[in-house]
Structure 1
Amino acid sequence: MVNIINLTAFSIFIFSPNVTEYVSYKEFIEKFGEEGFNLIRQAERNHTQNYSIKPEENSLIVVGDITQSMYKDILNHVINNDIKRIIITSPGGDIDAGISIGYLIYKHKLDIEIIDYCISSCANYLFTAAINKTIRDGAAVIWHGNTQQKDFREFDLCGRTVSSLDGLPIDDEEIAELSSPEGQHEWRTRQKREHDFYQLIGVNDYIARVGQEPKNYGDFTMPVKYMQQFGVTNIYAPKNYAEADYCESFNKLNPSIALSCISVSETHFEYENERKMFGERCAHDGTLIINKNSDDLPIRSR
């Protein structure tokens, strides 16, 4: 009998009454096959999003999942109080809500301070939008993609229904939703909204995907000097932030998070520039490859 005892952006699984083991989604599916996939999907459906917001002087202490309700609560506090800073721990959450909070942070010129972790939508939209950004010692800002990530493009452009990043298949219900005219319109609207957001704040959205393509590291962060190359500035972090020893210590304290500390080189930017310049085409297995040196007509990234 396999039981999932916790499921967030990362997975914690128990394999026997006395042993808890932390593995990735891909490793879990490889170990338990279809049963593992079904358990993950069931856990995702059963997950209850929750958060808390506590005002403290001119700050908001925010903990939990990013939701539309969180956005409305933060908006209410910012409008009615002299809020200067958001202090947050979050595993991420809803994309649209994250973008809305990002716009709010940018408009009101708020600072952000990260306790423990700021993952996914929190990293993509809240952290990048803040004026001054503080990462406390032992904490991490963690990216793992955005609306333009490769497996989303592969489904959209090639019809691939298994992620080339984590090996997870898309379930039938989600495929039907994403394939419907309404679902496609909603996704296009979300992609444009994200694009416009990054344009406004002056940040290159590749920051959320550089650890996925051309090589996938899973959940990743990077030293401050590399964040600055994407337009993310005014960052205050420990001197050794995102060095190998920092990630090692972080992962020991957070065993369910397999965080990779990556370096960013010119090779990464060359890849992204070529992808945009030459476009992409579908390989035989439905993965996208850059159309460079090919006579085939390109499929432009959207």
Structure 2
Amino acid sequence: MKVNMKKTVLSFLVVMSCNVLADELDIGNVSQEGMVMKYYGTLSYELNEKLFKLYEEAKIKPSALYIESDGGDVELGMDLGDWVYEKNLDIIVDSYCLSSCANYVFPSANHKTLGNQALIGYHGGANSTSFDTSAIDDMYKELPVEERKEKQRELHLSIKEYQKRVGARELEFYQKIGVKPDLATLGQ
């Protein structure tokens, strides 16, 4: 479990620092089959925008979103969740909907359909009370002590500012869709 938490922290830090642009990665695809929109892959700005455009261009508006996602950035999850809620879509999960997909996209749907082997994976949200930030210490271990401490302090402050901003948005999101805010953190 410790390894997974480090991966989560590292993913969080990558998103925070914007060192990797999503359009440089092959992270999934979106499509439409009849009345169902399909979303495969890590939540990304590009996939969200493609989905929104595909929906707007549809002559007959789809009524459901089939999703298979390992999650992604919390704000992108809330963007997609807002859209699903506003379009009053149903959601279908046959395989998995994890992290931000589970936290924000899944609960925002009108009706939910789960396959027999489906997995909805919550592991905390923007308002979690604890985060494993031990990876931050490892990131700067090669720097001289004073420089390392300053970099760690700056990054911790940046994370706190991000959590405050995104945490407020998360609370507003859950209130709008009528879901208790502790949905993603209850298991912690």
Q: What's the TM-score bracket when you normalise by the shorter of the two chains?
A: 0.7 to 0.9
> Match of 1:169, as an amino acid?
A
5+ residue gaps, structure 2: 15-19, 141-150
Structure 2 equivalent of residue 95 of structure 1: 74
* Aligned residue in 2 for 1:288: none
Deviates more, 1:198-207 or 1:171-180: 171-180
Tell me the residue number matched to 1:270: none
Measured in 1, the distance between the counterparts of 2:103 and 2:97 equals: 9
Number of aligned pairs?
A: 164
CA distance in 2, matches of 1:174, 1:60: 42
Q: Is the 8 A contact 1:77 1:83 kept in 2?
A: no
**Residue in 2 aligned with 1:197?**
173
Q: Greater Rg, structure 1 or structure 2?
A: 1
Partner Cα separation in structure 1 for residue 152 and residue 64 of structure 2 = 37
The equivalent of 2:130 in structure 1 is 151
1:1-302 alignment, distance < 5 Å: 24=1, 26=2, 48=25, 50-81=27-58, 82-152=61-131, 163=132, 168-170=134-136, 171-172=139-140, 176-180=154-158, 184-212=160-188
The structure in which a higher percent of residues are helix is: 2
Once residues 153 and 37 of structure 2 are traced to their aligned partners in structure 1, the CA distance between those partners, rounded to angstroms, is: 38
Tell me the equivalent position of 1:227. Answer: none
SS in structure 2 of the partner of residue 169 of structure 1: helix
Q: Which amino acid aligns with 1:109?
A: N
Gaps of 5+ in 1: 1-23, 30-36, 153-162, 213-302
Q: 2:76 is aligned with what amino acid?
A: A
Aligned to 1:268: none
Whole-Å separation in 2 of the counterparts to 1:28 and 1:190: 22
Match of 1:267 in 2: none
Shift of 1:177: 3.3
The verdict on how the C-alpha distance between 1:85 and 1:187 changes in structure 2, with shifts beyond 3 A counting, is same
TM score, norm. by length of structure 2: 0.75
> 1:136 and 1:194 mapped to 2: Cα distance?
27
Take 2:10 and 2:90, find their aligned partners in 1: how far apart are those partners? 36
- 1:117 Cα offset (Å): 0.5
